[in-house]
Amino acid sequence: EPEVTQTPSHQVTQMGQEVILRCVPISNHLYFYWYRQILGQKVEFLVSFYNNEISEKSEIFDDQFSVERPDGSNFTLKIRSTKLEDSAMYFCASSQDFGGREQYFGPGTRLTVT
Amino acid sequence: AQTVTQSQPEMSVQEAETVTLSCTYDTSENNYYLFWYKQPPSRQMILVIRQEAYKQQNATENRFSVNFQKAAKSFSLKISDSQLGDTAMYFCALTMDSSYKLIFGSGTRLLVRP
């Protein structure tokens, strides 16, 4: 069964450093998403991406964040200058269609900023 | 603004018994979709069940079923014949035709006791 994959599973970085989180969505999916979950809290939407551009973003997704689909398979989230409060689980998701279609999640990347 | 509320932070159930997890939501849109996701200790987000708002019939997936009360804006999840592997955090989520994002509730931690 096709699945969303994410690398790395755990990333430790120092405050102020740049990180890139990588995702490979399900191959025939067209819509891609990033969510984050701070430990013990709810899952929060960051950004959605379709046709090589951002479709929607939340207020969390400020200028420190960017997304890219550098080739036909990868979907990346970059945080330019990490802060302590960026420590969280970051989930990538993909779907065949927007709106009502199911979003399938990757296993997540645990980001720890020290 | 759209919101999802899960009022039960924790629930427990004896193995083989039935448990119901509650969820209420608020949206002004006519067409929307509701989901239950399961998050086991591995923290992977797994889709459990999906319901379209325009469908009156409640969705069912094996031991999992929902009670969708549109007028009351209620969307509860019933787990029958609970198994130890059902122990997880359960999140209710909402998405609309007008937006790409999933809006999550705060989650209910379910413990299945042997």
Nearest CA in chain B to A92: B45
* Option in A42, A56, A99 nearest B107 (CB): A42
Domain borders along chain B are 3-113
Q: What is the total count of domains within chain A?
A: 1
pLDDT in tens, A49-103: 998 999 999 999 999 999 999 887 899 999 999 999 999 999 999 998 765 678 9
Under a CB-based contact definition with an 8 Å cutoff, are residues A54 and A63 in contact?
no
Neighbouring CB atoms inside 10 A of B60's CB total 12
> Which chain A residues are Cβ-neighbours of B50 within 8 angstroms?
102
A41, A42, A57: best mutation site toward chain B, by most B Cβ within 10 Å? A42
How near does any CA of chain A get to the CA of B45, in Å? 6
Q: Which domain holds residue A32?
A: 5-97
Under a CB-based contact definition with an 8 Å cutoff, are residues B95 and B101 in contact?
yes
Residue A82 domain-assigned (yes or no): yes
Class of B3-113 in CATH? mainly beta
What number is the average pLDDT over the span B99-113? Answer: 94
How near does any CA of chain B get to the CA of A93, in Å? 10
Question: Is the pLDDT confidence value at B47 over 70?
Answer: yes
Q: By C-alpha distance, which of B2, B8, B60, B63 is closest to B30?
A: B2
Nearest-angstrom CA–CA distance, B77 and B36: 8
* Option in A45, A100, A102 nearest B101 (CB): A45
Residue A112 domain-assigned (yes or no): no
Interchain proximity B95–A100, CB inside 8 Å: yes
Domain of A68, CATH number, reads: 2.60.40.10
Alpha-carbon distance values, B112 to A1, B9, B36, B109 (Å) = 28, 15, 18, 10
Average pLDDT, chain B: 94
Alpha-carbon distance values, A98 to A31, A56, B43, B99 (Å) = 7, 11, 24, 8
Question: Is the pLDDT confidence value at B58 over 80?
Answer: yes
% of chain B at pLDDT higher than 70: 100
* Option in A37, A45, A89 nearest B102 (CB): A45
Nearest-angstrom CA–CA distance, B35 and A106: 17
> Which chain A residues are Cβ-neighbours of B45 within 8 angstroms?
43, 91, 93, 105, 108
pLDDT for the residue A84: 97
Residue A110 domain-assigned (yes or no): no
What number is the average pLDDT over the span B42-60? Answer: 92
Under a CB-based contact definition with an 8 Å cutoff, are residues B18 and B78 in contact?
yes
Interchain proximity A100–B52, CB inside 8 Å: yes
Q: Which residues are B67's β-sheet partners?
A: B76
pLDDT for the residue B1: 82
Between strands A43-50 and A31-37, the pairing is antiparallel
Interchain proximity A42–B106, CB inside 8 Å: yes
Residue A52 domain-assigned (yes or no): yes
Question: Is the pLDDT confidence value at B8 over 90?
Answer: yes
Interface of B with A (CB under 8 A): 31-33, 35, 37, 42-47, 50, 52, 91, 93, 95-107
Residue A102 domain-assigned (yes or no): no
